[in-house]
Chain A
Amino acid sequence: MAEKYKVLYYVNQFFGQIGGEDKAGIEPMYKEETVGPALGFNGLISEEGEVIGTIICGDNYFNENKEEAMKFILDIVKKTNPDIVVTGPAFNAGRYGMACGEIAKAIVEQLNIPAVTGMYVENPGVDVCKGQVIIASTSDSAAGMRKALPVMANIVKKIVKGEELGLPEEEGYIPQGKRLTVFSDKRGSQRAVEMLLARLNDEPFETELPMPVFDKVNPAEAIKDLSKATIALVTSGGIVPKGNPDRIQSASAQKWGKYDVSEKDALGADYCTIHGGYDPVYANELPDRVAPLDMLKQYEKDGVIGKVYEYFYTTTGTGTSVGNAMKFGKEIGKELKEAGVDGVILTST
């Protein structure tokens, strides 16, 4: 009987049955068993393949200690030498998705081993790895596990056998964004005539070239007299008071923070950056480089603006889902509007 192909599995602390949020900081570990979804997955491929082990790592640990976590994981991959690696599925969990995506991508790029994962289409982890990794399209919650695993298993089987994957809609994965020129059975003009007829008859049709959709926001009216205006400072650059008292995440933020800066002339030494998406050296030296409270306060002194709003709002932009970003924007916006703020300086990185 032919040897079974080897699958290495990765899950976070929750699916690895270690614990919940409280255990999100645990270091990575390797178990030569099938844990959590790996068990179900193993059953689905058992005819020709087997899961040789499960790597488990805390989502917070991974996002905050990326180098160490990656080294541990890649070492395990090198040692166990699987034919393919499976991570997740992460559904819509942002930090888990980022971890699944980055791990899968690193394995593909550095070790030349294929990887498959599963995510909800809005998970920020999708953009991290979709070019290199096949991401099965899942629902937005763990309730979709039963449907997700067979889709992932099917994709894994094809990749391991060297079979070409069909279209994303056929195989159930999120489009990688590759536009491939192929032959159609009808010439272009015929397809155009049919498309127009469908439109004229109010029938469904599918465009061959989807246009990018941009979220258009109407700008507010210009401030008539800046010298009387109250300006608030908001940032997605992850600038927080030293110690990060509210535990804002360094990636895939789940919350925003609000801090009293009425007595300060600058953010200065009391603040630092926890943003995981840029080199922190210069921001830590002088956080005002990212969120220029110092300049705003100077403008206030010079009478250029009326007043700097007493609260400074902050969160982390990198890997944060569009859904969360919209939520934060609405919440912060509501507070600022109620406080009578006239304008906002919003910095990003």
Chain B
Amino acid sequence: MKLELRRIHIKDIQFGDKLAVENGVLTVNKEDLIEKLKEDERIKDIKVDIARPGEKVRIIPVKDVIEPRVKIEGAGNGFPGASTKIAQLGDGKVNVLYGAAVVTVGDIVGFQEGVVDMWGEGAKWTPFSKTYNLVVDITPVEGLDPHTHEATVRLAGLKAAEFIGEAGRKVEPDEVLTYEMESNALETKKYPDLPKVLYVEMLISQGLLHDGYIYGVNSQLILPTLIHPNEELDGAVISGNCVAACDKITTYQHQNNSVILDLYAQHGKTINFLGVILTPELTTLEGKFRTCDYTAKLCKTLGADGVIVSEEGYGNPDSDLVMICKRLENAGIKTALITDECSGRDGMSQPLTDTASEAVAVVSTGNVSHVVTLPPADKVIGNAESIATLAGGWDGALLEDGTLMCELNAVIGATSEIGYHNCTVKLY
């Protein structure tokens, strides 16, 4: 498969008459976008706003973040299986509005959290303080059941990204990145001496607000599956996860999966990158045994020498992470795990729920309980009342002037377990 990601560097967003990109400035016609999204009769109202890096703006609660793109050559514009007709992804040319992001806001439940601060202390902890964000606030019609509500908001985000992405169709990119990988057999013939590496990507797959989708198929229904890295980079995997702001994999992060990108950079040089295994994190113990056995078996069957395993979430998925690691290590396959930890507010507690002596190589992407102090914002896009939920749980966390103290677990992407962000933990 050969995929070209052609990045058009976006330096600003503004509202205007015509959807276009000129000299790096993305112009969006607000009314056109709203009209397009309201084609879905389940939507009552849409509000669109802009948040730029450095502005004292807070976006809350964030449901998903999606990168606007357009496929100019090859099958599968939009998100095949999820928002557009099914198509085989992974080949072709994609123009990317690089530096722009569609951020969907609109809580399905009151306890949803996820904050993006575009300036100050909060900005350090989320990668989306550096993107030019088009914030889409979706209000569905009354009386929808929760599943339909979630699907409506999810779909609206994907459609908005597709709609906006069109602006890049005829624009010359600033840089072109090519991702090319043939069959495992051919690649191994090319690089017989390089160690074979697989990436096991775990996805929360437990029910409403805890879902992932692969070509539109809910990941709760799948067995661990081999997928070509190009497919994920091309939009095959999208997020239905609306809990765990700090470590949920947003659709944007699937499209730009940092483990895939970093492994690809080494392919043919230091490793033979065999591909990606998507592994669902299930609730039942039987399910966990099944998926962990299956994942390890896939790795063995493909002849992996080393595997990177990334987790999504915290709590019961820790069991899966440890189980997969144990099985791989005992089969002689070397692992490196990526996970966040929960060492308490003071950093003195046991970091993980489950442990295994086999997990000798672990990257920690941060303590989810680390407390940050966020100054009051000049403007809040979304639901200002959710701020109380963020700070919730202990007295004195929300001050009168609007300063709030919250744990990292409320900040989008702060402790990303696909290693998207650059937090780590040191022992003092």
Contact = CB atoms under 8 A, between A and B. Distances in A.
A binds B: yes
Interface stretch (A40-48, A137-145, A188-196): A188-196
Contacts of B259: 189, 192-193
Interface residues of B, number: 58
A178 B348 contact: yes
Interface string A211-239: 11110000000000000000000000000
A200 B258 contact: no
A278 B356 CA distance: 33
Interface in B124-157: 124
A290 to B, nearest CB: 29
Interface in B398-426: 408, 415-426
B419 A188 contact: yes
Contacts of B366: 181
A199 interface: yes
B422 A185 contact: yes
A164 to B, nearest CB: 10
B236 interface: no
B357 interface: yes
A267 to B, nearest CB: 38
Interface string B375-401: 000000000000000000000000000
Interface string B347-361: 110111001110111
Contacts of B53: none
Given A178-B347, A183-B124, A209-B341, A197 B266 contact: yes
Nearest to A175: B427
A131 B334 CA distance: 35
Contacts of A79: none
Give the most central of A131, A189, A212: most B CB within 10 Å: A189
Interface string B307-319: 1101000000000
Contact of B308 (A185, A196, A209): A196
Interface residues of A, number: 37
B360 A182 contact: no
Interface in A167-191: 167-168, 175-191
Contacts of A212: 350, 355
A203 B303 CA distance: 22
B338 interface: yes
Contacts, number: 161
A200 B341 contact: no
B416 to A, nearest CB: 7
A196 B426 CA distance: 19
B428 A209 contact: no
Given A196-B308, A208-B363, A190 B262 contact: yes
Contacts of B428: 165, 167-168, 175-176, 178-180
Given A192-B336, A199-B334, A200-B334, A182 B425 contact: yes
Given A212-B350, A213-B357, A184 B423 contact: yes
B221 interface: no
B219 interface: no
Given A209-B362, A211-B360, A212-B350, A197 B427 contact: no
A112 interface: no
A110 interface: no
A180 B347 contact: yes
B338 A181 contact: no
A195 B416 contact: no
Nearest to A185: B422
Contact of B343 (A179, A187, A196): A179
Contact of A196 (B341, B359, B361): B361
In the complex, the 3 A-B pairs of residues with the closest C-beta atoms, listed nearest first: A188-B419, A189-B419, A189-B258
Given A178-B346, A180-B427, A200-B334, 5 more contacts: A180-B428, A181-B347, A183-B423, A189-B308, A193-B266
27 contacts: A165-B428, A167-B427, A178-B346, A179-B347, A179-B425, A181-B366, A187-B258, A187-B262, A188-B363, A188-B420, A189-B258, A189-B308, A192-B259, A192-B337, A192-B338, A193-B263, A196-B308, A199-B361, A200-B305, A200-B334, A207-B362, A209-B341, A209-B359, A209-B362, A209-B425, A211-B362, A212-B355
Interface of A: 131, 165, 167-168, 175-193, 195-197, 199-200, 205, 207-214
